Chain A
């Protein structure tokens, strides 16, 4: 009798074990069935399934409907998405054209602005309205401020994470950063045309030389690199839409390679990078913080490709065989210029600055003694700074 009772329990265990093992492969099989083209985009969440079904069901992000099922990875797991937040979506487009999400990363709707501080309030705690990258940004008692990277003084640069309210942009966090070549804005596309885009309330002027990566649509997220104009407006140099469609004509491309050839004069024109032809325009960002862009330099190229042709939106120098040294950035008055032209040795804030054909000059028409110049370049052992870029502030000075 006892023996029979034990046998009954042991078979129950066997049955449970078999059921467990039989259920194990169910998830991989489901994941494998979602074959199709991968679509990536980031945008404003417009609708999410209601509880208690959430997150399973149909979401709407930037006007697109996406089905979320039990296999979809929702990140962060602790966040419950609501309309108005942002989402980064990776999905498969099925044969019927419908999107099934593989991963959804939910983010707060935080507009990111990097730019120079044009004005700050007199309040010792910084409460009040600031002008950063030409935009009015309100700092209140809830704003978190860090000056670890650089003091938040007028003329310095700040990175601001802000939210858009009825009263304008309100800073959630603000930190001092190094001077950058260009203003940077990350936000949601509110409108776009051939002459102007508006990202989260921030207008950007678009011209024919503006490099546009990706097809814009309202409520998709986009990043803009821009030049701050004298009137406080922003001129878009590069606009990158956070969307990648596999069937799109302009395929985003990113690769590392070695510079094999450069244009004869300056950096604008055709580069050869590890055998690939790369078009560099005046709007291409060239980050030379780690070294100068010369033949033999290792670079990271970001852009788009049509056929065999690559148009670069960003080139980052990773390593350079050019004379080594430390990358320096500084700002100060121009004290000396070459006798003729702008190529040659300058003196800025007491330092010798060597300007070559590869130096990128912003607003060169303002280059005169007494004007204020921001210089980024490599300082060699001899103290001479080989300029990667110089930005000149339009400030009258003696001729």
Chain B
């Protein structure tokens, strides 16, 4: 292999492996797919499984971040609410990013007795990884966006879970909305050197 080809290949591999440089390698800039169904909850419970120990509907119009509907976990004492969706993380992905907006309202006073955990479960519902934990010490009434890198879990089918658990006193609401899973694949629009024989 000519020496110039080898240098070019090394440089190209280096660029392709760095996600931050991905934009410069993407021809159209739209090499990512959305893999969450109904992440904005505007279709109600479609795509999601709900389990609420107190029998509450976890999709609600009470406090959406955007649109009319959002997820509303907790809000009662001794809550044990789970909102889940099975997702497939392609092995060929170069990056997989989960984003979700969340906010709380609470009667707790600056202490974290009530908690919501965002996790990945294996298909048999055993824990694969805890991704994020939000508790009742967080600032109330402020929407925050979580951004989580799931690239390490590519090639697996997993269950994304939002789980809220509250204790016996002082209510905490956990609101979730606009959940998105961007799966980015290797782009074909790479600016290769033009070589003519």
Chain A interface (Cβ within 8 Å of chain B)?
A: 2-3, 5-7, 9-10, 13-14, 17, 20, 75-78, 88, 105, 107, 110, 112, 114, 144-146, 148-149, 159, 161, 173, 175, 177-178, 180, 254, 285, 287, 289-290, 300, 302, 314, 316, 318, 326-327, 329
Contacts and interface: CB of A to CB of B under 8 A. Distances in A.
Contacts of B171: 149, 177-178
Interface string B114-152: 000000000000000000000000011111110000000
A314 B11 contact: no
Contacts of B169: 178, 289-290, 327, 329
Contacts of A173: 62-63
Nearest to B168: A326
Interface string B73-99: 001110000000000000000000000
Contact of A6 (B4, B61, B143): B4
Contacts of A159: 105, 107
B111 A318 contact: yes
B105 A148 contact: no
Contact of A10 (B7, B110, B145): B7
Contact of A314 (B109, B170, B196): B109
Contacts of B63: 144, 173
A76 B145 contact: yes
B176 to A, nearest CB: 14
Nearest to A13: B11
A132 to B, nearest CB: 15
Contacts of A316: 109-111
Q: Is the interface of A mostly helix, strand, loop or mixed?
A: strand
Given A17-B11, A159-B105, A159-B107, 8 more contacts: A20-B21, A76-B101, A77-B145, A144-B61, A173-B63, A178-B171, A254-B110, A300-B111
Interface residues of B, number: 44
B193 to A, nearest CB: 4
Contact of A148 (B2, B7, B75, B196): B75
A159 B106 CA distance: 10
A271 to B, nearest CB: 17
A161 B141 contact: yes
B5 A6 contact: yes
26 contacts: A2-B196, A3-B2, A5-B196, A6-B193, A6-B195, A9-B8, A10-B4, A13-B7, A13-B8, A20-B21, A75-B144, A110-B141, A146-B60, A146-B62, A146-B72, A146-B173, A175-B62, A175-B105, A178-B77, A254-B110, A300-B109, A302-B110, A314-B110, A316-B110, A316-B111, A327-B169
Contacts, number: 109
Q: Is the interface of B mostly helix, strand, loop or mixed?
A: loop
Contacts of B61: 144
A180 B141 contact: no
A17 B10 CA distance: 12
Contacts of B56: 148
Given A2-B196, A148-B75, A314-B109, A107 B11 contact: no
Contacts of B153: none
B193 A107 contact: no
A14 B10 CA distance: 11
A13 B9 CA distance: 11
Nearest to A376: B169
Interface in B1-43: 2, 4-5, 7-8, 11-12, 14-15, 21
A173 to B, nearest CB: 6
Contacts of A17: 11, 14-15
A289 B170 contact: yes
B11 A10 contact: yes
A107 B103 CA distance: 12
Contact of B142 (A9, A107, A285, A290): A107
A18 to B, nearest CB: 11
B111 A3 contact: no
A177 B145 CA distance: 26
Nearest to B192: A9
A114 B144 CA distance: 23
